[in-house]
Structure 1
C-alpha cells in the first residue's frame, strides 16, 4: 500500500467510510482528498499455450450521484499501469463531500478481466478539529504516546460504537512490537519498542468504531486518524576522555555510540564558579571511530566537569561526564619582581597598570583624564590607545603586594575571543592618591610602554595593558 506523504498526514484527522468490497480489491487508504487503491491479481493466470501476455491494468474512478454506482458521472479519472507487479494507484485532488465509484480491469493480449469493483466510496470532509497526541515520551529505543479516547474524538458526532485502537509505526524495524491493537477504549497509551536510536518514525493512531444502527441507517466503519513524526533519542556517547590539558583549554576524545544515528556532539565544561558555552562538534562523514574536540577560555587551576552529549533530529542523548583540572599558568623564570614601596612582589604572569578614581577627593582635573593627558604628552595618543583595556574584562582577586603608594593584586583578564590571562594588577592606593601620584603613575606606565614597544627586556616585566575607569564625585 502506498504511504501518504508524511508532511501531509502530520496531525491530520480523517473520517473514513468504507463500503463492502468486491472482487480482488484490497481495503483502500483514505485522506481528505485522495484514495489509494490496492488489488490482488494472483487469481489472474496467463494462458501460456496461447502465448497470452500481460498488457496493463486500467483503474477508473467515477463520481456518482447515489450510493449504488448505477448513476455515475462520465468521464472517469483513468490510470493505466503497464507493470504487472505494480498493483496499487493513488487518485489525488478529489472533491470533498463527494461519492466515488471505482473499477479495475486487467488487460492482456487475449482478454480483459475485472480485478475488482467498489461500491460508492464517500470522501468525507471532517468537522472535527485536528487531533494530536496528548503526550509523547521517547527514549533511545522506544516511543510512548497517549491520545484522546474514541468517545472524546466523537464528542460532536452521533453516538458510535468503539471497536479498537491501532497504533502503527513506519518504518517497521525487525524487533519492533508494532502494530499495537487495543480493544479497551479507556486504554489510551501505547509504547512502541525495539526502535533505532536517533531515527525519525511516522506514528499513526487509528481509532475505529461503528455507527449506531438506531441513529444511522447505513452500516459504515468510522476511523479517526492521528499522525505525527517522532524521533527517538540518540544513544549516549560511548566514551569521553581527556587527552590534554593546558591552563585555559582541554582537548577531548569522543567515541560515538555503536548503535543508531548521531548528527553532532555537544560539549561543555562546568565548575563551581565558571561554565563554558555549549560547543557543537560535528560528526565527520564516514563513521569515524573517534572524534577530537577542544574547549577553550577556561580558568587555570580549576576543576571542571566535562559533559558530552549526542544530538540527533534535535534530541539530546544522555550526558556522559569526566572530571579534569586545568594546569597552572606557566611562569617565565626570566621575569623578575618589582618593588612597590618596601615590599618585593613576585610577578605571576605579567604586569597590569590600573588607575582608580578617588571619589572622596576633588581634583582640578578628572584623574582619569589627567592620567591620559600626561601619558599622551609623553608618548602620544597613537601609542597609548592600543594598550587601553576595558575594566569589565579585568577580575581582581587577592592582594599580593602593598607599597607606600600602591597595591598589587592578582587578577584575570578575559577578553572576548581570547584566552584568559592571569596578571598582576598594580593600582594606586586610595588613601594616598593625589595629582602628583597620578602624574608619576602615568610616567611609569609610559616607560613600560616604551620598553615593550622596543621588544621588552628580560629583566623588566611585560606590560599587558592599562585600565582607566571611574567618575569624579560631585
Structure 2
C-alpha cells in the first residue's frame, strides 16, 4: 500500500470525528496527494485515532511501514497548555477478515498492538516551511489473513503526508549454476529463510542439498551446495547458463571446464558432444578416455610350438600424440564347428602379462593341443577408457600342434590285501586328444626305480597283483594319446596288508564300534533333553523360553531370534535384550508424531562417557494396562536382539520412571513412503536400487535369525539423512485395534493383516514365513520405484485378494527398469518355495548396481499375456449406454477424457483394447 499515489479520498476511519481530518495537498513536485492532519493542541486530554483500510497479508510474515509526516514545534505556538505533544503512536490490529467497524475493535491498546512511539527528527515553526520527516518501522510475525494500521495522536499539531506498507524479499537469483526462487524474508528481522535451489538447464548437482539463506534485509547469503555443467556443455553468460559444445569440440566430464577440440584422429559432427568418435582405421580400447587420440597397431607375428606360442608386433602407425602407449593381448578360443570364439580360460598363461604391456611381445602357454585360437592386439594409452564403440584390433589366428596329455593329478588307493592293491585316478586336466590307455609304474619303496614294474589299463582304475604282504610300494600313472605319453603323476606311497588279516580287520572296525557307541550316547542325551522340554511346554501351555535358548546351543555360532512372548515373565526378556537408561540422560525436545501406545518425540540422549546424540523416543501414554505395557516394551525386546546397519538400532528403554520410553536412533527423513512422495522423481535409478539393496540386506539378516517380520512395507522403513534405509516396526502390527478409518490392516481369522502387502498363503492360511516376507519385499520394490504410490491404487482389499488369486500382478511403475520388475514378479510367485531368498535378492541387486547399463532397459508395456480389457472389468459393460458411464461405475471416471481423446468412444473400440 502506498497512499502517495491515491487520487481519490482514502476514507480511513477516525475516532472521534473532531480528531484526524483528511485534506488534499501537493507534494514537492506539485503532484496532488491525500493527507491526514490533526491540531487540537489547545484542548487537553487528546486521544485521536486513525485506522487504515484492511490490508491483506498473503504469505508475508513481517511488514514494514514507511511514514512521511511533519510536526509543529510546540514552542512556536503561543498560549497553549503544557499538554502539547510532538510525537504520535503506531499500532496494528490482525484479523482474518475485513470486519472492523467504527466501534470495533475498541479504540485502545489491546486489542491494538503498539509498534512504536514515532518522534520527528525536525519540527517546524510558523516562520519556516514544514520539514518532512521519514520514519520506517516493522512488525511481525503475522499469522492472520490481514491487518489494519492505526495512528494515535495524544495532542500534537501534525500532518501525516503518506503511508507506504511493504515487505522485503530476496529476488530470484542464479548462483553456482543453480536457480533460487524469489523468497520473502522471515518473521523476525534476524530470521534466515532457507530457499531450495534447482540446477539450471544442462547442469547437474555436485553437492546437495542446494540452498541459499534469505536474511531479514532481503539479501542472499550462505550458499550451500552447487551445480556444474554436465558433460558436453560449458559455462556461459557469467556462469549462469550451460551451453552446448560446438561441433568439432567436446567435453567428456561434468565440471566447470570448457569444451576442447577433438583429439588427434577423432571427430564429432554434432553439438553437445561428450566424446569424439575415431576416424576410420583408428580405434579406442575399453579403458581409453575421450581426451586421448585414437591409435592402431599392426603386423602381428607368431610362432607356435605345440601348446605354447610367441607373439610379436610392431608399433602403431600413430600413437595418438602421447608417449604412454600400452598394449593388451586378448586371447579367444575358437570352435570351427560352431563358428564362434570365446574368451580363453583363466589357466591360459600369458607372460609377462596380458594387460598393460610396455614390451611388444608375449609368450602364451597352457593352450589346448590341436585347437584354433585368435589373438587380438590392442594399443591403448592413458586416456583410452570412454569409447562408445566396440574396439577393433589387429589380430592373428593360429592353430596349436598336437601335444601329449598333461600329468595325472591324483592317484587313490581304493583297497588293499596282503598281495593286491586296487587303484583309481583322475584323468589328466588337459588330455590334448583322446586317451588311448594308461601306464602304471610301481616298485618297492626300499629298492628304487631300477627294478620298477609297469602295466597298462584301458580305464582310470587298475588292480595290481602278485605283491608282497606288509610292503610299501611307490606308484605313478601316466596317460597316452596319439602324440605319445604324458608326464607321470607325482609318486604315491601305498602299503599291502600283513597276513594277520583278522587282527587287522578288528583294528579297522574298532573306530566304527567306538563311533556307534558315541552316536548312541548322543541320541540318549537328545531324547532326555527333548523330554524335559516337552514336559516344560506342557506345564507352561506354550513354547518356553528355554526351547528358544536351546536353539543357540544346537546351532553353534548362529544367533537365533527369541520370541519375548515365550518368557514366563516378559520383564525378563526386557532385562535380557534391552539396556535400561536413566531418565536423566534423556531430554525430550518436540513431539513429531503419534504411535499406537503414545507419542513419538525427537530428543537427545547423553550417556556417561559418550557424546550426545539425537534420538527418537516412543512414550507409553498414561493410564496404560499391564498388557499394554508388555506389548509396548515387546518391540524393544525384539529390536534389542538385532545388530545390523539396515535395522533400526535400539539405544535402550526407560522402565523405572514415568513415562515408560523406548529410545532408538533418529532417522531424519522419516518413513520411506512419505519421503518418496515428498521427493517424487528426484532420485536416480541407482539411488533407488541402493535403497532397495539396504532393505534387502536388513531382511536377509532377519531371515538368517529366523525372524519373520509380517508387516514389511515402505511405511515401516525409515530413512536417515544419508538415504540409508532401515527396517523398523517389529511386532506392533499384531496388536493393532480395528480402525474403520485405516483400511491398511484388515481383520482376518487370528489377527489383522495388511492385505496389499501380504502373500496369498499368509492371507488364506496364516502361513507367515521368510517367503511371505519376500512377497512383501516385492511390494516394497514397487512402492519405491513408483515413489510411494499406493499398491493396487483404489481397489478394495477384497478386489486385491481376488485379483492376486487370478494371477494378476502389479505392472511396472513408470520408467521402471525391466530387470527390477522381473525381480518383483519373482517375489510374487504363487508357489512360495519358488520365490528367491533374501540372500539371492541382495546378490541380484549387487549385480545390477555393478552393471548400471542393465538398469537402462525400461519395460514399455504391462507384463502378462494380452487379454481384452473389458473381460477383466466388472460390472458388465453391456449394461451401460456410454463409455463414460462405464468408467464412472468402475471408478475410473478421471480417465474419461483420455479415452475420448484417443478415439475410444464406443464399446466396440474399447473391446479391442488389451492390458498393454
- TM-score normalised by L of structure 2: 0.15
Q: Comparing both structures, which one devotes a greater share of its residues to strand?
A: 1
Larger radius of gyration: 2
- TM-score normalised by L of structure 1: 0.25
Q: Comparing both structures, which one devotes a greater share of its residues to helix?
A: 2
Higher relative contact order (CA 8 A, sep 6+): 1
